[in-house]
């Protein structure tokens, strides 16, 4: 593509958008009509100033931090889902269930908010818990209540 084609396109866009700055840019490019756009880009390449380099490094650092935060959030979500699944799978085995709860309590990557999410998934309520210990206690209480209900229903089912 030649610069002339690029300039003509800029003029067309400038006319549609009523952008005087694009029309001025197109006017400045007229002496370069015979160049390829790639040659123009090479000609216009200017070394970055210290300020521009610092700004680019700052943006790159922010992007890396955002990616890292997203990855950590995905890992925490996977951990929460895994613990909720383990609780559900060990619901009928008291010993295994208590071991899962102890692992949740001991897992430093699980914070209070995460323990609350695990409790919400297991208990199916939206109760709020102030501590990780309170959330795991609610999980244990729910498992105990479920066990008692299952025992009562099995005892009652034999009567009828």
90: which DSSP letter? Answer: T
53 inside domain: no
Give the pair of three-digit tokens for residue 49. 């100033």
58 inside domain: no
Same structural domain, 40 and 76: no
- Reduce the DSSP state of residue 33 to 3 states and report it: coil
Beta bridge partners of 36: 2
Q: Who wins on pLDDT, 109 or 35?
A: 109
- Reduce the DSSP state of residue 159 to 3 states and report it: coil
Neighbours of 18 (CB within 10 A): 8
Q: Who wins on pLDDT, 136 or 12?
A: 136
Neighbours of 70 (CB within 10 A): 10
118 neighbors 97 (Cβ within 8 angstroms): no
51 inside domain: no
CA distance 21 to 10: 10
Same structural domain, 78 and 28: no
Q: What is the mean pLDDT of residues 112-124?
A: 92
130: which DSSP letter? Answer: S
Tell me the CA distances in angstroms from 47 to 36, 40, 42, 51, one per residue in order. Answer: 21, 15, 11, 11
**Could you read off the pLDDT of 78-102 as tens digits, one per residue?**
999 999 999 999 988 889 999 999 9
Expressed as residue numbers, the domain containing 37 is: 3-45
**Could you read off the pLDDT of 3-35 as tens digits, one per residue?**
778 778 877 777 777 667 777 777 777 777 777
117 inside domain: yes
Number of domains making up the chain: 2
63 inside domain: no
138 inside domain: yes
Same structural domain, 13 and 83: no
């Amino acid at each position: 593509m030649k610069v002339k084609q690029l300039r003509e396109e800029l003029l067309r866009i400038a006319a549609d958008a009523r952008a005087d700055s694009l029309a001025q840019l197109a006017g400045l490019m007229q002496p370069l009509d015979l160049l390829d756009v790639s040659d123009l880009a090479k000609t216009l390449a200017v070394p970055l100033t210290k300020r521009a380099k610092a700004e680019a490094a700052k943006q790159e650092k922010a992007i890396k931090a955002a990616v890292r935060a997203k990855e950590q959030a995905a890992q925490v979500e996977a951990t929460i889902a895994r613990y909720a699944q383990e609780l559900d799978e060990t619901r009928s085995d008291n010993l295994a269930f208590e071991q899962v709860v102890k692992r949740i309590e001991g897992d430093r990557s699980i914070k209070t908010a995460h323990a609350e999410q695990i409790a919400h998934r297991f208990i199916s309520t939206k109760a709020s818990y102030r501590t990780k210990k309170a959330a795991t206690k609610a999980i244990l209480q729910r498992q105990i209540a479920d066990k008692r209900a299952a025992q009562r229903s099995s005892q009652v089912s034999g009567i009828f």
